[in-house]
């Protein structure tokens, strides 16, 4: 148990086919957790689940488009059917499109807000009742330092992440009385293919495993307390 402190626990991780989400799913599996993985790319997602099963835990892949409310409902239902009700929900799926606000279309705005914010609300709402019945659970939202700092071209992305931090803090207050801990991780730029890095040195950037480590810290915290928010920055500026 000391080596696999999450043995017997079940997690649901979104955006789990690559990058930060995959690193988080792998870390939770290494801690003994069974994992439901979700993302849009079914082939890549199943390959990720197969890799995780080699760690000796159960893992399933559930393709879903989190801009579709029906997909979110089916994701929550299938995750519970296949592995059981999640003890840990990691809302990691995210989308970024960057341009001046006057060039944004309403469609682009809606896709970003639906993916980064509305989907978190709907999945939290879907898993909360079973967590409340069990009087335990972790919900970890992967936010961003962009939820605290404005930058040119980031209107929709920043709005979604500022909103996500507000949602996280309010959900924490609503659910802590039921033994459920809701936390946010706010990384700076991570070396993934999420956004172009230009001429920056990716070796100096945060790595997906750094975010996974922060999630590990949160979900292994002693039961009498919880870590409400972690901000992550690289040691050196890339």
| Active site residues per annotation | 157
Rounded-to-integer distance, Cα 91 and Cα 121, Å: 10
Contacts of 24 (CB under 8 A, 6+ apart): 13, 16, 90, 92, 142, 208, 211, 212, 215
Residue 2 burial class via C-beta count within 10 angstroms: exposed 0-12, middle 13-18, buried 19 and up: exposed
Rounded-to-integer distance, Cα 34 and Cα 238, Å: 35
Residue 14 burial class via C-beta count within 10 angstroms: exposed 0-12, middle 13-18, buried 19 and up: buried
Rounded-to-integer distance, Cα 9 and Cα 101, Å: 43
Rounded-to-integer distance, Cα 71 and Cα 174, Å: 25
Contacts of 126 (CB under 8 A, 6+ apart): 72, 73, 76
């Amino acid at each position: 148990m000391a080596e696999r402190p999450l043995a017997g626990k079940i997690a649901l991780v979104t955006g789990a086919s690559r990058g930060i989400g995959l690193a988080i799913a792998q870390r939770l599996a290494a801690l003994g957790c069974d994992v439901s993985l979700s993302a849009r790319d079914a082939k890549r997602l199943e390959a990720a689940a197969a890799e995780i099963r080699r760690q000796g835990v159960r893992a399933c892949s559930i393709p879903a488009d989190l801009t579709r409310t029906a997909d979110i409902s089916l994701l929550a239902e299938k995750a519970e059917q296949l592995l059981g009700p999640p003890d840990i929900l990691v809302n990691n799926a995210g989308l970024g499109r960057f341009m001046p606000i006057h060039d944004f279309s309403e469609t682009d705005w809606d896709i970003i807000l639906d993916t980064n914010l509305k989907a978190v609300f709907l999945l939290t709402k879907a898993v909360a009742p079973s967590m409340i019945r069990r009087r335990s659970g972790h919900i970890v939202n992967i936010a961003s330092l962009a939820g605290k700092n404005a930058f040119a071209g980031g209107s929709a992305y920043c709005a979604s992440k500022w909103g996500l931090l507000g949602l996280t803090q309010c959900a924490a207050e609503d659910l802590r009385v039921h033994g459920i801990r809701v936390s946010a991780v706010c990384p700076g730029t991570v070396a993934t293919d999420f956004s172009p890095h230009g001429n920056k040195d990716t070796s100096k950037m945060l790595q997906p495993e750094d975010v996974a480590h922060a999630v590990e810290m949160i979900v292994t915290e002693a039961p009498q307390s919880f870590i409400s928010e972690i901000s992550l920055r690289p040691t050196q500026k890339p």
